[in-house]
Structure 1
């Protein structure tokens, strides 16, 4: 019986020792999973509260113009998101195309204009100019196009 008691106590001590380690490990994993869930929820809420840029038209076809003519067009964008949108940069794919835009915040449901001027001098043939819009919106980089054909003088 003495031998049995020694072995029983040893076995019981081993079980307690190993189960305590597993218990703490389980608690650490639960805490880690809980923290990750909170972080994921916060990111989801932040993403849901971003602005979103949508254009009334993604491309404008100016048809045919004579070389030397200036083509002007206004692209209207709307903030369909839940937070203000600020345009940080608007660029064109060619120096012959000049965009102008407001840096004022566009409130949810609000609109803003991007005025584009294309100078056709030296640009004979089919044209496709890409205007890239960068902002703090959920779709942080969007594009619109100006296209048409420039006829030689």
Structure 2
């Protein structure tokens, strides 16, 4: 047993002693420069700025379709890519946005259609999914939906 331990100890000693080269000498300066450049670029994000964060349609008749356009600009340091735009419900439809990268300083737009459903004060959120630092941004539309004047109102039966 002592011979086995002695043999393993000798092999470990030889293995450690054979690594005479300093690890610091193996570092390639070009790799360091490339990594530093990559890390500097990785901290640059696009920034999406909207011309308005909320649009109020005011008073609209029930079931009346309305539409607005949200304009935005990439004020960041990297190309902006919008991957998806969704609304909080099916009565609001975002459309017509570019899926191509938007370079810093360039502008884009998308439209939002609201079908006028609901009653009284209505608010809908539109979520823009993009490669920004937060990953998503939101804008809102609001309206006051007036009751449909042609809608037949059933009278409430009186209790006796």
How far is the alpha carbon of 1:96 from its aligned partner? 0.1
Q: Quote the Cα distance in structure 2 between the aligned partners of 1:112 and 1:42.
A: 28
Number of the residue aligned with 1:102:
98
Q: Quote the Cα distance in structure 2 between the aligned partners of 1:66 and 1:53.
A: 33
* TM-score normalised per structure 1: 0.69
Q: RMSD of the alignment, in Å?
A: 2.1
Name segments (4+ residues, structure 1) moved above 3 Å: 38-45
**Within the alignment, does 1:56 sit opposite 2:51 as a pair?**
yes
Equivalent residues of 1:53, 1:139 under 8 A apart: no
Q: Quote the Cα distance in structure 1 between the aligned partners of 2:87 and 2:114.
A: 10
Q: Quote the Cα distance in structure 1 between the aligned partners of 2:121 and 2:40.
A: 44
Unaligned runs of 5+ in 2: 1-22, 28-33, 149-160
Number of the residue aligned with 1:129:
124
Q: Quote the Cα distance in structure 2 between the aligned partners of 1:132 and 1:80.
A: 19
Number of the residue aligned with 1:7:
none
Aligned residues, how many?
A: 117
Q: Which structure has greater helix proportion?
A: 1
Equivalent residues of 1:78, 1:112 under 8 A apart: yes
Match of 1:115 among 107, 111, 116: 111
Q: Quote the Cα distance in structure 1 between the aligned partners of 2:90 and 2:99.
A: 21
